[in-house]
Structures are given as C-alpha cells and as structure tokens.
Amino acid sequence: MMKAHVYVTLKASVLDPQGQTIHNALRKIGFADVTAVRQGKYFALALADGLSAGAAGAEVERIAREVLTNPVIEEYTYRIEE
Amino acid sequence: MMKAHVYVTLKASVLDPQGQTIHNALRKIGFADVTAVRQGKYFALALADGLSAGAAGAEVERIAREVLTNPVIEEYTYRIEE
C-alpha cells in the first residue's frame, strides 16, 4: 500500500503560542536543552493500489496545497512512501 | 543547530473521527485515490548546540514519551536532524 505523509507547519513568521507553551512547560520540568518548540499537524494518507508514483505525488501535492494547508499562515511538506 | 522532529499519532486501534472527516471531504471533492486518512501531531524541537547525538536522542525520547504522547491512545516516532 502506498502511503503519503503530509506535514503542515506554521510559517516561521507566524507566532506559535501552543509551541511556546510546550517549550515553557519543558523548561519548567527540567528539559533545558530544548531552545524552541513549534507545533504542526501531521496527516497520514493511504493511497489506492496501482497509482503511479507520479500520479500519487501530483494528487498529494494538490491535497496538501488546496485542502490541508491555510496558505496565509501555513506551509507544507510531504513524503510518499511506496 | 540540531533539530528533532516528533510525530505523535493515534494508535491504529483508536478511532480517528477528524481523519475520517477529512477523508469524507476529500472524496466529496473528487480525490478518489485516497483510501484512508489519519491525523496526528507534529512537533519541531530546536536543541542546544553542543549536545551529543546520543544525549539528544535520549532527551527527545523522554520528551516524546513523557510529555508529548498520551500512552493510552497515542504512539510516537521521532527523528533527529543534525
């Protein structure tokens, strides 16, 4: 089964209060080596058998760009696993 | 700068209504080649310079297990990027 992994993160210029809160919590409980935390979203998509790698890439690219990401504040990366 | 990427997902036995909703939406708008969607969380951690790879791995493993994951319903993977 072909799988796609899509990672959606806030753009670097966008504040991430959720990540900041996690960072503060980590510091308080003693994880001093973490210097920043950013939180994002992860999507695992199972793809139909028999899809070519090219078609899979094109479809996942469109899904990531048009459905899973808010282009005003977010950006995405993805990885296809055959 | 050393970075760690932590991925937290629901265990396979746990229902994922959010992923199911995304899957239904994708089908409705014509992405017929997607057969399942699961949603998870992604965390990007920046780590202090000078940390050894071994120490970084141990610290990120503890953070993922003890802080970022609810072991009752979730599991995690992580990757260290030097």
ipTM of the complex: 0.89
Asked if B53 reaches chain A (Cβ–Cβ under 8 Å), the answer is no
B59 close to A (CB below 8 A): yes
Q: Which of the pair, A1 or B70, is modelled with greater confidence? A: B70
Fold of A2-81: Mth169; Chain: A , (3.30.1280)
As a three-state string, the secondary structure of B25-75 is HHHHCCCCCEEEEEEEEEEEEEECCCCCHHHHHHHHHHHHHHHHCCCCCEE
Per-residue pLDDT tens listing for chain A (82 residues): 899 999 999 999 999 999 999 999 999 999 999 999 999 999 999 999 989 999 999 999 999 999 999 999 999 999 999 8
| Tokens linked to B10 | 């629901």
Contact A67 B29 (CB under 8 A): yes
